[in-house]
């Protein structure tokens, strides 16, 4: 991945490319000291960056305050949807670039965004992902669906969906060609802490949603026993992570463990319900 700080995002008149002037990156943080600095280093083109922090207790705030274009708002976390919508309220630009604190925006993606029209027919753009293990992307990451990250603020609102959120956009959408990099370097203990919270919400969503309204992946998860084994074979063989060495195995183990924890949560929820 190239570092965008080496790029000049100005046009021939020496001013910032028009659409970049009209984009505000929006980021949520909570104890993201292991990641947020790398993310911000790739956003030096932005005039303003809005960060909604859930009262971090590590050095996240110190890192954020070292960037002059970052404006931090603190809000107690309730749901992802509410947190993102609060963030949207703080954005004054026409366009929003919605990022997790462990997303890296490479030069290729910024170049593609810089070439977009400010007043085109498209109101939102999806980005595809490459998943990184300690900074190096594994070969395929089709398991991570594209996410709508760039959109017009006036036409968007977030709604909660299980442990995460989805963006509801009024208007037309398109998919960008370049990739976002997902590069989470938080320790295993933090990852397990997150799964502890996420799987409670995800299990509730899967068990309470009529099966005919679930997508194929959640229908498999509802069977509980199948999902961990299927994700193991899918990641290792179909995605080809067996050829990525220890990084591939690391990600396979992580995905299998996440599915196993979710299966245990659903078994627990069903058994407690019938006691």
Give the integer Cα–Cα distance in Å for 4 and 52. Answer: 23
| 3-state secondary structure at position 27 | strand
- Under the banding of pLDDT at 50, 70 and 90, the label for residue 163 is low
The pLDDT tens digits of the residues spanning 117-128 come to 878 899 999 999
Question: Average pLDDT, stretch 166-194?
Answer: 93
Q: pTM here?
A: 0.84
Asked if residue 149 has pLDDT above 90, the reply is yes
The pLDDT tens digits of the residues spanning 79-99 come to 899 999 999 999 999 999 999
Top pLDDT among 145 and 102 is at 102
Q: Which residue has the tokens 């030069």?
A: 107
Tell me which CATH homologous superfamily contains domain 4-182.
Answer: Spore Coat Polysaccharide Biosynthesis Protein SpsA; Chain A (3.90.550.10)
The pLDDT tens digits of the residues spanning 221-233 come to 999 999 999 999 9
Asked if residue 207 has pLDDT above 50, the reply is yes
- To the nearest whole number, what is the mean pLDDT of the chain? 89
pLDDT of residue 145: 84
Q: What is the residue extent of each domain of the chain?
A: 4-182, 188-273
Question: Average pLDDT, stretch 21-49?
Answer: 96
User: Percent of the chain beyond pLDDT 70?
Assistant: 92
Give the integer Cα–Cα distance in Å for 264 and 199. Answer: 9
User: Is 124:155 a contact under the CB 8 Å cutoff?
Assistant: yes
pLDDT of residue 15: 53
């Amino acid at each position: 991945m190239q570092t965008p700080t080496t790029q000049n995002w100005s046009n021939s008149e020496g001013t910032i490319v028009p659409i970049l002037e009209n984009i505000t990156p929006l980021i949520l943080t909570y104890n993201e000291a292991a990641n947020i600095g790398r993310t911000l280093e790739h956003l030096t083109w932005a005039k303003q960056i809005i960060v909604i922090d859930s009262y971090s207790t590590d050095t996240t705030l110190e890192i954020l305050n070292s960037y002059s274009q970052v404006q931090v708002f603190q809000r107690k976390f309730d749901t992802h949807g509410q947190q993102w919508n609060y963030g949207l309220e703080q954005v004054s630009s026409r366009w929003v670039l919605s990022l997790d604190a462990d997303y890296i925006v490479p030069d290729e993606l910024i170049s593609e965004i810089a070439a977009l029209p400010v007043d085109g027919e498209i109101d939102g753009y999806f980005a595809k992902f490459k998943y990184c293990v300690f900074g190096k992307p594994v070969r395929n990451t089709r398991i991570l669906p594209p996410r709508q990250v760039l959109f017009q603020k006036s036409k968007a609102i977030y709604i909660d969906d299980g442990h995460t959120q989805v963006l509801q956009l009024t208007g037309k959408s398109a998919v960008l060609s370049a990739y976002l990099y997902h590069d989470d370097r938080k320790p295993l203990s933090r990852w397990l802490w997150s799964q502890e919270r996420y799987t409670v919400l995800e299990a509730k969503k899967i068990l309470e949603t009529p099966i005919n309204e679930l997508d194929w992946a959640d229908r498999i998860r509802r069977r509980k026993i199948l999902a961990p084994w299927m994700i193991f074979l899918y990641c290792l063989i179909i995605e080809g992570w067996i050829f990525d060495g220890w990084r591939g195995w690391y990600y396979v183990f992580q995905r299998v463990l996440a599915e196993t924890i979710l299966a245990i949560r659903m078994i627990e929820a069903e058994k407690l319900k019938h006691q």
